[in-house]
Structure 1
Amino acid sequence: MPRYCLALDLKDDPALIAEYEKYHEKIQPAITESIVSSGITDMEIYRVGNRLFMIMETTEDFSFEAKGAADAANPAVQAWEALMWNYQQALPMAKEGEKWVLMKHIFKLETND
């Protein structure tokens, strides 16, 4: 099962960070549906300071391009993304218009059992 790790920054404001976390305690059903229907089988977000780290596990046929196209056509996802952008900011190395940045896998512990 493919795994992707992505990063994004929040605006460095404790009140905004608290609001952002509150929204993620129970996301809207339409957002959950858009995640699951795209082929994402598991998703977790972690935070340190104002940096977010997302881990996604997906089906073999998951496509970032297809997810992006579906999200662009989904008014609920567009409203959610606009709301979340009030709390988020692009990483310094992000490309124009890029929010979550795909991280490069550099290490995996291998044991000789």
Structure 2
Amino acid sequence: MKRYCLALDLVDDEKLIAEYEAYHVNGWPEIKRSIIDSGILDMQIYRVSNRLFMIMETENDFSFDKKALMDASNPKVEEWEKLMWKYQQALPFAKPGEKWVLMKNIFQLNA
């Protein structure tokens, strides 16, 4: 199993943040299925202010490139991603078009 941690910002607007959280409480079943089908075993998203932190536990052979190809061929995922951009904003140092930015692990208690 592999673990990935990623960060992203939300538009700093309380109403939009509440809407974003509501989408994630209810979730779309097609989105959950696409996450599982890509090899993600568990996913958690945390928020402080407008900063999001995602933890993904994946199968050993998980690939971001493979997930991106799967997402690009799934109209429901494309619809979800387009909708989420209403609420999300790229981190200041993100590459053009990049949403979630992979974080570097700098400490682990039990290595």
Q: Which residue does the alignment assign to 1:23?
A: 23
Q: Which residue does the alignment assign to 1:49?
A: 49
- Structure 2 distance, partners of 1:17, 1:59, is 31
- Structure 2 distance, partners of 1:24, 1:50, is 15
Aligned-pair Cα RMSD in Å: 0.9
Secondary structure of the equivalent of 2:93?
coil
Q: Percent identity?
A: 68
Matched, 1:13 2:13: yes
Query: Which of structure 1's runs of 4+ aligned residues deviate more than 2 A?
Result: none
1:71 is displaced (CA, Å) by: 0.2
Aligned residues: 111
Q: Which residue does the alignment assign to 2:100?
A: 100
- Compute the TM-score of the two structures, normalised by the length of structure 2: 0.98
**Structure label with greater radius of gyration:** 1
Specify the code of the residue in structure 2 equivalent to 1:24: H
1:26 is displaced (CA, Å) by: 1.6
Matched, 1:39 2:34: no
Specify the code of the residue in structure 1 equivalent to 2:86: N
- Structure 2 distance, partners of 1:55, 1:63, is 15
Q: What is the 5 A alignment of 1:77-92? A: 77-92=77-92
- Structure 2 distance, partners of 1:38, 1:31, is 11
- Structure 1 distance, partners of 2:90, 2:42, is 23
- Structure 2 distance, partners of 1:84, 1:110, is 35
- Structure 2 distance, partners of 1:82, 1:96, is 15
1:110 is displaced (CA, Å) by: 3.2
- Structure 1 distance, partners of 2:110, 2:103, is 20
- Structure 1 distance, partners of 2:28, 2:80, is 9
Q: Gapped runs of 5+ residues in structure 2?
A: none
- Structure 2 distance, partners of 1:34, 1:62, is 13
Q: Deviations over 1:13-58 (max 9, x none)?
A: 0000000000000211100010000000000000000000000000
- Compute the TM-score of the two structures, normalised by the length of structure 1: 0.96
